[in-house]
Each structure stands twice: as structure tokens, then as C-alpha cells.
Chain A
Amino acid sequence: MSNSEFFEWANEVFSREKVFEKPEALKGIRVLDVSQVLIGPETASLLADFGAEVIKIEPPGMGELLRSVDLWSRFWKNNSVGVMWVQRNKYFFGLNLKHPKGKAIFYELVKQSDVLVENYVPGVMERLEISYKHLSEINPRLIYISISGFGQWGERWNWPSWDAAGQAASGASAVSGYEGRIPMKLPYYPGDMLGGAAAFMAVLAALYHREKTGEGQYIDVTQAENLARHLSFIWSYVSVKGENWKRLGNKDASMVANAFKSKDGRIVTIAAISGKHFEGLCKAMGKEWLLEKYPDIVSRLKPEARDEIDREIEEWVGRYNAKEIVELSAEFGFSAGIARNSLEVYEDEHLRDRGTVWMYNDPLFGEMVHVGNPIKLSETPARVKWTVHPVGYHNRYILKNILGFTDEEIKELEEEKVIGYWVDFFGRTPPPDFDPQKDPLFRW
């Protein structure tokens, strides 16, 4: 008894085609992004997805560190896809914050901004005289978020950190993988990406509060603590048991859920949270006797029961191709997924409809894909407009448009090395088929 009319309506209101006809929730919010690598840039990009004007400030020349890093060092069209991933819709400003004139320009921007995002080792901003202490004096409405490995205060305050340091410190790795093997350094930087999601949430909460009261505030978010929060009930479990959490591979200790190999050699994940899901699974398998043997959820979670249930699912999955199992999940109502590869995700038309696999035309890179924002809003949807630009690409736009500098003044700033552009070095130059001199935006 599906409600087709509802899906027609939902497809219409969430239509990918209509996104640019709709308002942006963060229109008018200006963000100064002085972060680098992943966690800070992702936080600022999430704000930019919803219409905030984000100015990414980089040191002239080499710019940000992640420009030197790419998957397998391939540097498609001279650029890092890692950088593309977390640099969405931003204005790229090559500004030397160590130059007195650069700092003066920065302070002027702070007066006209709403949010500042940074993720240097705690204390660095203080030395540069651009910490919350300094900037809240200039702009008390400013929301200033500092993101770090372990926090602005506490015994690890000045520890440098990378994503995996957060994974290692938080217990996230120690609970992942298999007993007796090296714990898993989880892929794609979850310390940064999950941390960026939470940092984004914290900034929005502060914006909401500011809208009511007019006051800005300071926010302290860390990689390690954020991952620890994701471990949720695991802490309570080990505190009651007084022993460590075992690494269980794909087996979920708290629900009937595990991964199995299909007839065609794919890894298929099966999960049943509620009684109804489990019933659907048993019916799909033609093993209703499991329902009678283990009538309630708690009985199914006991280790011996779980072993038996998992063996039965394993035997069944092994008799079908992965896609057949997925079809059965739609019919019977249990959770089934395939451990897909990136090409399968890229080609998934359903995800393209949802704007999750975001196909678009980029002003620099041409036909492009992006990771669309996962928060699908009906009235103020997120959108990807463009991805990374070279260092200083929007210098003239920012200086003229926001701060009213003249061509002569800009020339002077260039000569004094207060502002600057990219260098001819891997990960920095525009795509080979793109000429910035022909772009009015660059020449503004």
C-alpha cells in the first residue's frame, strides 16, 4: 500500500532542477575561513553549501597544506581531489597575515563578518594576535570556532594532531577491525569529517542564539572528543563490564546485523533492528522457524543465538547474487546493502536525483561531480556552485567588492607582498585547459 502521490509530491519539492530557484538559509552570513587541511575547511564548506559567503584565507604562494596531498598523488587536472572535496563555494583570498598591512585588512574583514573558523594548533592564533581574545574586542557579535585535536585547554592543549591521532586517542580505532590484528585506521578521515559535521552544528546553534540575543561566542571542538561522542553507549558498556570492547569485524553486537558473502562474491550487509524487520528477513529466507525459536529481540542477541542466526543468514546469502538480496529487501522490509565501490556510487542515478552525487558544470574544471550536502531541505536546499580555485583567485573581487580598494591600491598591496597568488607547483595551478586571464571574475 504505497502512497505514490506522496512520492510524486516529494520528488517535486526536493527536485534537483529547482534548487537554484529557492532561497539560501545562510544568505548574508559572512565567514572567514582561516583553517586548513580537512576539518576546518569542511566546517566552512557546510556553511557555504547553505549560502554563507565564505572567504578562505591562504598564505600567498603555496597556500594551504592539503594542496600538496592527493589520493595516490594523482592530481587530476593539476589539483587534489581531497581539496576539491572540502572547498565548496568559497572565495579564495591570498593574504599575508604576518604582514602588518595584511593584518589590518584582516581586522577590517572581521568587523564585517559573522563567523570565523580556524583549526591551527592552539596558541598559534594568539601569537598572530587574531585569537578570540583579540577579535571579540573588535566584533562582539563574532562567532569564533577553534577546532583542534584535543582542545584549547587541558593537558593536551598544544598537541599537534591529524585525523588518525584523533581516531587513535578516542577509542574509535581500538573498537574497529578484528581481535589480534592491528586496529583499523578508518578511511577517509572520519575524525575530520564527523568533526566538521558537529562543528557546523555548533556554529548554527551559536547563530541561532545570536539571532535572539545579539551576542557572539567562542566554540571549542576537538577531533578526539567528537569521535568519542560517536562511541556513545560503548563507554557505558565497558564501564559496567570493567573489561574492554572486543573488535568484532562486521558483527554488530547490539542488533542482528553482519556482513556475508553472496553467490557472486560480493559482500552483502544485512540488518534487522525491529521485530518486524527480523520477521521480514526470516520470511525472505524461508526460515520462519528462527522466529519461533527466538521470538523476542533480546533472545536473538545472546552470543549463541547470534552465532546460529548469522550462520543461517550466511548460508542463505551464499545462495543468491547480491542484487537479488537487495530486491528481496524491498519486498520483505529488512535492511540489505552491498559493499559497493566508488564507481557504483558515482553511477547511481537515484543518488544523482537526490543531489548526493552532485553532477554539475564547474567554472574551472568543466563537467564535474561533487559530494552533495546530505541535509536535504525542501525550502532552502544546499547547493554546490564551484569547487577549489587557485590561491588568491578572488583577491580583486574581495578587495574591491567588500572593502572598496582601487586598482592602484591593489597593485601596491601586490608589490609589498601583502596579497599574492598561486605558484607554479603541483596542486596549485589552474586546470591546464583554463586561462584565468580570460575570466572577468579573476580580473574583476
Chain B
Amino acid sequence: MEWHEFSKEYFEIERAKLKPGPLEGVVVLDVSYASPAATFASALLAEMGAEVIKVEPPNGDELRKLSPFGEIYLNDTGLPFLVEGRNKEFITLNLEKEEGREIFRRLALHADAILESFEPGWMDSVGIGYRQIRETNPGIVWVSFSAYGSFGRDAERFSKVPDSNLFGVSMSSYMEANRELPEAGEPYNLPTAPGFWMATNVAGVYAAAGVVLALYYRMKSGKGQMIDITSLDSMIHVAPSVFWSHAHGEPLFVGVLPLDYAVFPYAYWKIKDGYVFASGFTDPNFKALITQLGAEELFEKYPNVFARIKLENQKVLYQELAEKFEQLTFSDLTKRMLEWREQNREGVAVYMKVTTPTEVLEESYWKERGDFRDVKVGDGTIKVIEPVWRLSKTPLKFKWLAKRVGEDNGFVYKRFLGLAGKDLEELKNAGLI
């Protein structure tokens, strides 16, 4: 049996939904507001099987109002919140009022983790911060999301500043590195953000990982703790640029698209049917690449990695290869790569088509891996990306999309606080839920 058949059996795809998630039994309160990072984090915890209770003010989290071009709203909810509200339970609670805070304190007794994104210090100032909650629930894992963080010399002065994806990508120097060569002209040679929410999403991944780590430590020690998360810290970790400035005392110059700052050839080229990523930067791999393109003679001109990384050489080599690429389709390239492999020749050239989202949704690879699911919502159906990290014994799962504001009030308040019927009516009349 070949490895791909053998390995597939570990994951028992058909049975995956019947297996337990790794965080089964963990209760998480997500009281974040207008925070894509916290919302992504609690979505991941919910995929891992935690019971995530999203606590919104009675009018709902304004994050529900975001949707590309203000266009698509389902269940009165825009797509970001709809999709990342996955698997959560939705309750309302007014934390602006002391009576609402008292209910929060009671709910917090049942929580293993709490996620919040208020201005640092605000929850503490009204008596429901980490310091107060841990008095009655010493094992609590508390995550604060903000732009500048809860500590560090600028934290207090900038505490009103909300975090955002663009804040994380710009302040970290990530964005500065993402630009075309100076000669491309504006705006193409100016710092550019990725086209998706990289900074807030990766902050969410780190936060979710931090919660699991803290829960693991709690299992051994009985101790809870606080976790402080910013998209800025997260993006600095994703970029190695500070090493350069330490070593050489100057800013790192990396904005050279479509060329590269570390290895070459390692770039995107135009081909007959779109764009392709192609790579062959070590000597054997470079030889494989240029031979497959019918340009063997280039090796003498660029005989080692030092010759190939020089910016002025890259510019010429890029053009020389561009002339070859534009005459080929993606299948021409893969055919040549496979022949090369069948002949057991030295070196590996890697090609990958730059695939658009609509193309991805049609490709059989993703279908076989089960990465997208059709989900009915309202009168229509939308595609939703599944959790993509596969654990053989405790798979992550997609269960449902975000529900409406307060939809689970009845269930959650009964289950944790024993409130129902008239009790809830009273809370509602008092403007608390």
C-alpha cells in the first residue's frame, strides 16, 4: 500500500464527525466586541470542541455589520461574523450596567477561558477584569486582545486605539516589505497589505494556541493565567526583519516584487493561461528549472546562489525566463517536471499555478480533502471553509454558522444560571439581555 493510502486511513474521514474534539468539556466565554482577532480565536476553539458562548450586548456585536462592499447579509449578519461565528452559542448581556456585570460574574464561575477586546483596563475598572474574576475562579484563562497590549511603556497612553488588520501589518514592517520594485511606480511600489486579514487572523491562531497551552498547564498545576495578544506582536513574529537591523544597523530592503530578497529564481511569471510560481534556487534545482525551460546556457552566466541573488542579475534573469514562460501553459510545465522526475534526473523545479478563489472551489484536490462544505442558510447555500488541520483521533469540526443575536439565551441562561421564563423576561425588561 502506498503511503498516501495508508496515511489516509489514520484519519477515517467518514467517521471523523463521530470522534471527540480535543477540547471537549471546555467552556469559553467570548465577550469580545468588534474584534476580528478574538472572533477568529474563539472560532478555532469552537472547532476544537470547546463550548464557546459568544456574549453580545443586546443590540449585537457590530462586527456582524461588516461584509464585503456592504453586500451580503444572512441571518442579519455579514459574512465575516457569519463564517467565524461557527459552532458558537449566542447570548446577550449588557455589561454597561452593574446588574449585567453581576450576571457576567456568575457566568464566569462556569468558564475555563474568557476572551475580551475592550480597551485595556476597562473591564478591570468596572470590577469584572481578570484580577476580579480570578478571585472566584482561580483557574480562569483570560485573553485580552488590543492594539498596543496591556503592558509596555505605550500601553496606557494608546489604550483607546482599537486593533485592526492594517495596524498589525503596517506597524510590524510586514507591509513595507510587500511592494513592487521602485521602478514600478505608484501605487505598486508602495507598501501593500495582504488581501486577506492576515494580521488579525494569525493573532487569533496564536491566541487559540495560547489558550490550549494555558489549559494544559492548568491541568498540571491548577493555575490559570492571563494572555495578552496583539496583531502587531503576531506580525513581528511572522517577519525576520529585526535581525537585519540589528546586524547591519539599517532598514532591511525587501520590497522587490516580482523578484526576491533571499533566493532566486523564486518568483511568479506570466504564462499563457495565467500566472505561475516557479522555483529552482540551489544549483541542481536551478539547472533542472532552466533545462526544463530550454535555457541550459544560462547556468554559465549565473553559476551560484551569490550570482543569482544580486538584484541587477535578478532583473535580467527574470526577463530571460519570462520570455520562456510566456510561451508555455501550466500543463506544459507540469508535464516537463514529471518527465524529469520519471527519468530520475538531478534537481527539482517546483511549479504552481497562481489559482484564484473560484478556480480553487472547482479543483478536485480540495474536494477530495473535504476542505469546503455547502451550508444552507436562509433560502440559499454558501460555501464555507472547513477546519483544515487534521488530528487523527480528535478531529476539528465545522458544525454550524453564527446564529442570530441572543438566539441561545434560553438554553445558556438555563444551563448555567438556572434562569428561564419569567426570569429572562425580567432581564429583558431591565435592558440586560
Interface string of B229-254 (1 = CB under 8 A from A): 11011101111111111111111101
Top 9 A-B residue pairs of the complex, sorted by shortest distance between their CB atoms: A301-B70, A342-B241, A3-B121, A271-B164, A239-B383, A175-B195, A269-B166, A153-B8, A225-B388
Q: Is B84 close to A, CB under 8 A?
A: yes
When distances are taken between beta carbons in the complex, the residues of chain A under 8 Å from B241 are 188, 341-342, 345-346
- Pick from A193, A202, A205, A338: contact of B238, CB under 8 Å: A193
When distances are taken between beta carbons in the complex, the residues of chain B under 8 Å from A3 are 121-122, 124-125
Q: Is A247 close to B, CB under 8 A?
A: yes
Q: What separation, in Å, do the CA atoms of A241 and B10 have in the docked complex?
A: 37
When distances are taken between beta carbons in the complex, the residues of chain B under 8 Å from A181 are 180, 188
Given A153-B4, A259-B193, are A350 and B391 also a contact pair (CB < 8 Å)? no
Question: Which residue of chain B has its CB nearest to the CB of A193?
Answer: B238
Q: What separation, in Å, do the CA atoms of A296 and B255 have in the docked complex?
A: 38
Question: Which residue of chain A has its CB nearest to the CB of B282?
Answer: A68
When distances are taken between beta carbons in the complex, the residues of chain A under 8 Å from B371 are 225, 228
- Selecting from B102-110, B218-226, B290-298, B414-422, the interface stretch reads B218-226
In the complex, 5 of the A-B residue pairs with CB atoms within 8 angstroms, ordered by the A residue number, are A25-B213, A154-B368, A238-B358, A338-B170, A375-B207
- Pick from B148, B180, B190, B394: contact of A350, CB under 8 Å: B148
Give residues 315-347 of A contacting B (CB, 8 Å). 329-347
Count of chain A residues with a beta carbon within 8 Å of a chain B beta carbon: 187
Q: Are A187 and B177 in contact (CB under 8 A)?
A: yes
Q: Are A201 and B209 in contact (CB under 8 A)?
A: yes
Given A187-B177, A235-B361, are A6 and B121 also a contact pair (CB < 8 Å)? yes
When distances are taken between beta carbons in the complex, the residues of chain A under 8 Å from B221 are 23
Given A239-B382, A335-B164, are A169 and B23 also a contact pair (CB < 8 Å)? no
Q: Are B387 and A229 in contact (CB under 8 A)?
A: yes
Q: Is B100 close to A, CB under 8 A?
A: no
Q: Are A82 and B262 in contact (CB under 8 A)?
A: yes
The residue among A11, A300, A349, A376 with the most chain B CB atoms within 10 A of its own CB is: A376
- Selecting from A95-103, A126-134, A409-417, the interface stretch reads A126-134
Q: What separation, in Å, do the CA atoms of A296 and B73 have in the docked complex?
A: 15
Q: Is A262 close to B, CB under 8 A?
A: no
User: How far in angstroms is the closest Cβ of chain B from A256?
Assistant: 10
Q: Are A2 and B268 in contact (CB under 8 A)?
A: no
Q: Is A248 close to B, CB under 8 A?
A: yes
Q: What separation, in Å, do the CA atoms of A21 and B62 have in the docked complex?
A: 41
Q: Are B225 and A162 in contact (CB under 8 A)?
A: no
Q: What separation, in Å, do the CA atoms of A39 and B124 have in the docked complex?
A: 38
Q: Are B156 and A185 in contact (CB under 8 A)?
A: no
Besides the contacts A171-B355, A233-B83, what 14 more A-B pairs have beta carbons closer than 8 Å? A26-B213, A82-B262, A154-B369, A165-B277, A169-B352, A173-B277, A181-B188, A183-B275, A187-B255, A188-B177, A337-B164, A343-B249, A346-B241, A379-B214
Q: Is B153 close to A, CB under 8 A?
A: yes
Q: Is A72 close to B, CB under 8 A?
A: yes
Q: Are A330 and B158 in contact (CB under 8 A)?
A: yes
Q: What separation, in Å, do the CA atoms of A228 and B357 have in the docked complex?
A: 9
Question: Which residue of chain A has its CB nearest to the CB of B228?
Answer: A376
